[in-house]
């Protein structure tokens, strides 16, 4: 009754404040129209702060009101300009250039950096030189070390914890899946959908995911549904709609959608789901 009353008042964004996300999935069945968002602010198996911020971020992206300044007041964060290119789940990090230094160069400059005159003499092949040469090398060493520290930059570029994605990864995944024979591709896609669903729900076995079971009945919420969609975007290289999991609301239906998107020319016109063509037309527009 409470959820229906909120809907009657015009609510479209629903955030669950509780120990887990069980009620978010149940609340969907109480609504007469598709909500903008149903998401838990806390989940039993995930860090509280990260889950809360992720849910609030989803609400804001989907048009919900959010006082971001108040949210970040104690975080020390600051406003920055976003880049103008589309993200498309790709990283744009500088790659470290391949080192061109020889082994001899490395040994020479390592000795200079350590201010190790005997090792430097060995690198130069003058370890048995006379006293005058050794004294000259000792006098030159501080100047070499200073010049090296001011001139040379280590060939290391800091990257995120995860390796940057290849910009062609999406196209490669899509091409690889589309190249399979239809029965093999569909079986692989169904296994993929079931495995990813089990993953976001925290299940150990794929057998717990019924191919014909409705995602909300399996326990999927808006939050975990978006997680599933993001994983499938990365797996297939397809730009899937954010609500695809609830538009094609069973693993089998979602598999059929993915298969049609990967190989649209293989389906007979009578077998096509009119929603697929509508989706493509809307994205093209």
Residue 247 sits in the same domain as residue 189: yes
Take residue 241 and report the two structure tokens written for it. Answer: 């709609």
- Cα separation, 60 vs 57, in Å, equals 5
Q: What is the pLDDT of residue 126?
A: 83
- Residue 238 CA from chain centroid, whole number: 14
Q: What is the pLDDT of residue 284?
A: 47
Q: For residue 40, give the 3-state DSSP assignment.
A: strand
Domain end point (choices 71, 92, 114): 71
Task: Please report whether residue 93 resides in a domain.
Answer: no
Residue 35 sits in the same domain as residue 108: no
Task: Please report whether residue 17 resides in a domain.
Answer: yes
Task: Please report whether residue 128 resides in a domain.
Answer: yes
Q: What is the pLDDT of residue 152?
A: 63
Task: Please report whether residue 161 resides in a domain.
Answer: no
* Alpha-carbon torsion, ordered 227, 231, 237, 240, to 10 deg: -20
Q: For residue 259, give the 3-state DSSP assignment.
A: helix
Residue 122 sits in the same domain as residue 63: no
Residue 118 sits in the same domain as residue 184: no
Domain end point (choices 14, 49, 71): 71
Residue 175 sits in the same domain as residue 231: yes
CATH number, domain of 207, equals 1.10.1200.10
Q: For residue 103, give the 3-state DSSP assignment.
A: helix
Residue 174 sits in the same domain as residue 141: no
Q: What is the pLDDT of residue 262?
A: 86
Q: What is the pLDDT along the chain (285 residues), one digit of tens a residue?
A: 888 888 889 888 888 888 877 777 778 778 888 887 888 888 777 788 888 888 888 888 878 788 877 877 776 667 777 767 665 555 555 555 555 555 556 777 778 877 788 888 888 888 887 888 878 888 888 888 777 766 665 554 444 444 444 444 445 556 777 777 888 888 889 999 999 999 888 887 888 899 999 999 898 888 888 889 988 988 888 888 888 998 999 999 999 999 998 887 655 444 445 555 455 455 444
Report residue 221: phi and psi, to 5°.
-105, 180
Residue 137 sits in the same domain as residue 195: no
Region of 125 please: left (phi>0), alpha (psi -120 to 50) or beta.
Answer: left
Residue 243 sits in the same domain as residue 278: yes
Q: What angle do CA 128, 132, 134 make, to 5 degrees?
A: 50
Residue 134 sits in the same domain as residue 189: no
Q: What is the pLDDT of residue 224?
A: 86
Residue 13 sits in the same domain as residue 60: yes
Burial class (CB in 10 A: 0-12, 13-18, 19+), 48: exposed
Residue 220 contacts residue 245 (beta carbons within 8 Å):
yes
Q: Domain range for residue 138?
A: 103-151
Task: Please report whether residue 163 resides in a domain.
Answer: no
Residue 93 contacts residue 157 (beta carbons within 8 Å):
yes
Q: What is the pLDDT of residue 162?
A: 44
The count of domains in the chain is: 3
Residue 40 contacts residue 20 (beta carbons within 8 Å):
yes
Domain end point (choices 151, 181, 216): 151
Task: Please report whether residue 92 resides in a domain.
Answer: no
Cα–Cα separations (whole angstroms), residue 23 to 44, 53, 163, 184: 13, 19, 36, 37
Residue 147 sits in the same domain as residue 180: no
Give 248-274 pLDDT, tens digit per residue.
999 999 999 999 988 876 554 444 455
Task: Please report whether residue 239 resides in a domain.
Answer: yes
- Cα separation, 227 vs 156, in Å, equals 33
Task: Please report whether residue 84 resides in a domain.
Answer: no
Region of 152 please: left (phi>0), alpha (psi -120 to 50) or beta.
Answer: beta
Residue 144 sits in the same domain as residue 200: no
């Amino acid at each position: 009754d409470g959820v229906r009353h909120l809907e009657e008042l015009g609510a479209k964004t629903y955030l669950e404040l509780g120990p887990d996300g069980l009620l978010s999935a149940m609340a969907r069945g109480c609504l007469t129209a598709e909500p903008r968002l149903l998401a838990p602010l806390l989940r039993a198996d995930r860090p509280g702060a990260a889950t809360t911020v992720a849910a609030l971020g989803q609400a804001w992206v989907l048009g919900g009101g959010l006082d971001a300044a108040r949210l970040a007041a104690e975080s020390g964060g600051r406003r920055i300009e976003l880049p103008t290119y589309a993200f498309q789940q790709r990283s744009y990090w500088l790659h470290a250039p391949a080192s061109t230094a020889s082994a001899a160069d490395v040994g020479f400059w390592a000795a200079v950096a350590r201010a190790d005159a005997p090792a430097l003499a060995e690198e130069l092949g003058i370890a048995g030189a006379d006293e005058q040469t050794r004294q000259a090398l000792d006098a030159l060493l501080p100047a070499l070390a200073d010049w090296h520290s001011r001139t040379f930059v280590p060939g290391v570029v800091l990257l995120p914890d995860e390796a940057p994605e290849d910009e062609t990864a999406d196209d490669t995944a899509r091409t690889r899946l589309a190249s399979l024979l239809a029965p093999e591709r569909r079986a692989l896609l169904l296994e993929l959908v079931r495995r990813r669903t089990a993953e976001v729900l925290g299940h150990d076995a794929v057998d717990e995911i019924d191919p014909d079971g409705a995602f909300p009945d399996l326990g999927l919420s808006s939050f975990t549904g978006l997680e599933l969609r993001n994983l499938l975007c990365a797996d297939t290289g397809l730009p899937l709609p954010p609500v695809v999991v609830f538009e094609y609301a069973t693993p089998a239906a979602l598999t059929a959608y993915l298969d049609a998107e990967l190989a649209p020319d293989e389906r007979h016109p009578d077998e096509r789901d009119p929603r697929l063509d509508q989706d493509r037309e809307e994205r093209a527009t």
